[in-house]
């Protein structure tokens, strides 16, 4: 059983691309990652972004190929289960649900904070105010999701066009200052040299951050059952999203990193774009980047809610998630029960995060582990694509490159990044424990469902 839709309810290629761009959320990603990228790679951060593009496009090709083969809203969950092993497939779905459900909480919290910064700055440290505003945004986003994917697409289009337009305009202003020597930092080609990036350590640290910055574009795939030409459009959308993210990150990083002195940039590491906007733009336009970050955060929150509900629907279809996740609106095609459940989990985690400092710190560590989790399920997707085509004879040199070499590069890169993140200490022990612990928990659930509940999904044919 697929998500029931009629042709008029389906979204198009452009809508699917918008979903992928929204989920990655370049504005809030830049806001929290720019300072870290400069700290580890100096002013050569664009190099890791471009290097990371090659394996990321390879992984996107893996998604495209697998989606042509089997159009399931479960995506990696379904493909890995069919191609490699049902247990590994379940763990893939488990990780994706963790990525999006916990990810929504890490988005709802800043959404509340950014809103208060813009409208009521004196309440920005009030946890109850943050919860009230963040919860309100969460409920509004969930209502849009239940109303229909076409409604979601209209909401996302408005935000993404605004977000990219403002980033482009402000980046052009920053480039103008850089070209005329009026920026805080003077341009130098040395930025992009081996020494300028800090050697191997700086490059690897930058690649780790770049990998995390790209993650999220796969949201375009999870709406494949509700997309026109669902065998082809979702895969095209994934590829287009990766290309556009590479462009916007490359341009924005080179433009924005020179606006502030290094010490100033690190002082505003949590919300660098607001500080950059204040430096580049006169009042009252100086707050426009803060508004862009808020808008981008809401778009990412919407994409996360939609993606989690679709993956939950696919898993419920196989009886490995609660059956009520399969409930959809008549003529609406929306898994509303899964959407409401994800919304409720988000509100619960938000309340816990704001209740005590220790829980908030724990949630921060858990959120940091999501980057590692994304590395694992991206790598598994590339592995599934390679294994699925192992018996297919290559028809041309381009097929060997697109169907074999690039996904292999994506898989190898994922393994290397995961290994390097552990060996170099780029991730802390608590973050590793959260990531591994959550995967082990999923393994225990799988064993219970198979051995105790007798779910047939885990039976290898």
pTM: 0.88
CA distances from 370 to 81, 334, 390 (A): 21, 26, 30
pLDDT computed for residue 198 by the predictor: 85
Query: Which pLDDT band holds residue 1 (cuts at 50, 70, 90)?
Result: low
The token pair at 99 is: 């990525």
Answer yes or no: are the C-beta atoms of 421 and 427 closer than 8 Å.
yes
Query: Which pLDDT band holds residue 74 (cuts at 50, 70, 90)?
Result: very high
H-state helical runs in 287-392: 288-317, 336-355, 357-388
User: In 10 A of CB 9, how many CB atoms?
Assistant: 17
Q: Which CATH class is domain 7-74+103-355?
A: mainly alpha
H-state helical runs in 389-428: 397-400, 406-423
Cα(363)–Cα(336) distance, rounded to whole angstroms? 26
H-state helical runs in 190-287: 199-214, 219-222, 233-256, 262-267, 272-280
Query: Which pLDDT band holds residue 345 (cuts at 50, 70, 90)?
Result: confident
User: Which tens digit of pLDDT belongs to each residue from 263-306?
Assistant: 888 887 667 888 888 889 888 887 888 888 888 888 888 888 89
User: Which tens digit of pLDDT belongs to each residue from 374-420?
Assistant: 888 999 999 999 888 776 656 667 777 776 778 888 889 888 888 87
pLDDT computed for residue 237 by the predictor: 93
pLDDT computed for residue 449 by the predictor: 93
Cα(238)–Cα(250) distance, rounded to whole angstroms? 18
Average pLDDT, the chain: 85
What ranges do the domains of the chain cover?
Answer: 7-74+103-355
Answer yes or no: are the C-beta atoms of 215 and 371 closer than 8 Å.
yes
pLDDT computed for residue 49 by the predictor: 93
Answer yes or no: are the C-beta atoms of 330 and 88 closer than 8 Å.
no
Cα(226)–Cα(10) distance, rounded to whole angstroms? 5
pLDDT over 70 (residue 461): no
The CA radius of gyration of the chain, in Å to the nearest whole number, is 21
Cα(48)–Cα(236) distance, rounded to whole angstroms? 24
pLDDT computed for residue 80 by the predictor: 95
Highest mean pLDDT among 30-34, 131-135, 240-244, 321-325: 240-244
Cα(79)–Cα(26) distance, rounded to whole angstroms? 28
Query: Which pLDDT band holds residue 330 (cuts at 50, 70, 90)?
Result: low
Cα(104)–Cα(225) distance, rounded to whole angstroms? 22
Answer yes or no: are the C-beta atoms of 44 and 197 closer than 8 Å.
yes
Give the single-character DSSP code of 217.
Answer: T
pLDDT over 60 (residue 4): no
- Average pLDDT on 69-77 reads 93
pLDDT over 60 (residue 89): yes
Query: Which pLDDT band holds residue 53 (cuts at 50, 70, 90)?
Result: very high
């Amino acid at each position: 059983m697929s998500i029931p839709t009629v042709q008029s309810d389906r979204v198009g290629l452009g809508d699917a691309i918008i979903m992928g761009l929204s989920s990655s959320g370049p504005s809030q990603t830049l806001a929290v990652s720019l300072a870290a990228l400069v700290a580890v790679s100096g002013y050569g951060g664009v190099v890791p972004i471009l290097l990371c593009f090659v394996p990321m496009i390879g992984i996107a090709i893996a998604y495209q190929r697998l989606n042509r083969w089997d159009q399931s809203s479960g995506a990696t969950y379904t493909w890995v289960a069919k191609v490699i092993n049902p247990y590994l497939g379940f763990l893939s779905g488990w990780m994706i649900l963790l990525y999006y459900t916990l990810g929504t909480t890490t988005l709802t919290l800043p959404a509340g904070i950014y809103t208060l910064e813009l409208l009521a700055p004196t309440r920005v440290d009030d946890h109850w105010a943050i919860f009230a505003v963040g919860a309100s945004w969460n409920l509004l986003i969930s209502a849009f999701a239940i109303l229909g994917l076409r409604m979601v697409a209209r909401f996302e289009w408005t935000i993404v066009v605004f977000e990219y337009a403002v980033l482009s305009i402000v980046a052009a202003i920053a480039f103008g200052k850089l070209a005329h020597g009026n920026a805080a930092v003077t341009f130098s080609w040395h930025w992009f040299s081996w020494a300028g990036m800090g050697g191997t350590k700086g490059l690897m640290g930058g690649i780790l951050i770049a990998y995390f910055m790209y993650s999220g574009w796969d949201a375009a795939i999870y709406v494949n059952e509700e997309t026109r030409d669902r065998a082809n459009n979702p895969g095209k959308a994934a590829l287009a999203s990766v290309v556009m993210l590479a462009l916007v990150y490359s341009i924005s990083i080179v433009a924005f990193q020179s606006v502030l002195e290094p010490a100033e940039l690190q002082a505003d590491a949590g919300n660098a774009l607001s500080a950059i906007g204040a430096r580049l733009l006169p009042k009252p336009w100086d707050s426009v980047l803060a508004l862009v970050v808020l808008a981008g955060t809401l778009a990412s929150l919407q994409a996360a809610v939609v993606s989690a509900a679709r993956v939950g629907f696919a898993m419920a279809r196989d009886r490995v998630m609660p059956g009520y996740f399969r409930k959809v609106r008549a003529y609406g095609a929306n898994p509303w029960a899964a959407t409401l459940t994800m919304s409720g989990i988000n509100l619960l985690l938000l309340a816990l995060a704001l209740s005590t400092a220790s829980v908030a710190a724990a949630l921060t560590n858990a959120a940091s582990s999501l980057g590692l989790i994304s590395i694992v399920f991206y790598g598994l997707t590339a592995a599934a694509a390679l294994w699925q085509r192992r018996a297919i004879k290559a028809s041309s040199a381009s097929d060997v490159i697109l169907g074999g070499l690039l996904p292999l590069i994506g898989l190898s890169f994922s393994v290397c990044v995961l290994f390097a993140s552990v060996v170099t200490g780029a991730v802390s022990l608590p973050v590793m424990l959260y990531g591994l612990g959550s995967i082990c928990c999923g393994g225990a659930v799988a064993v219970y469902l198979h051995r105790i509940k007798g779910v047939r999904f885990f039976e290898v044919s």
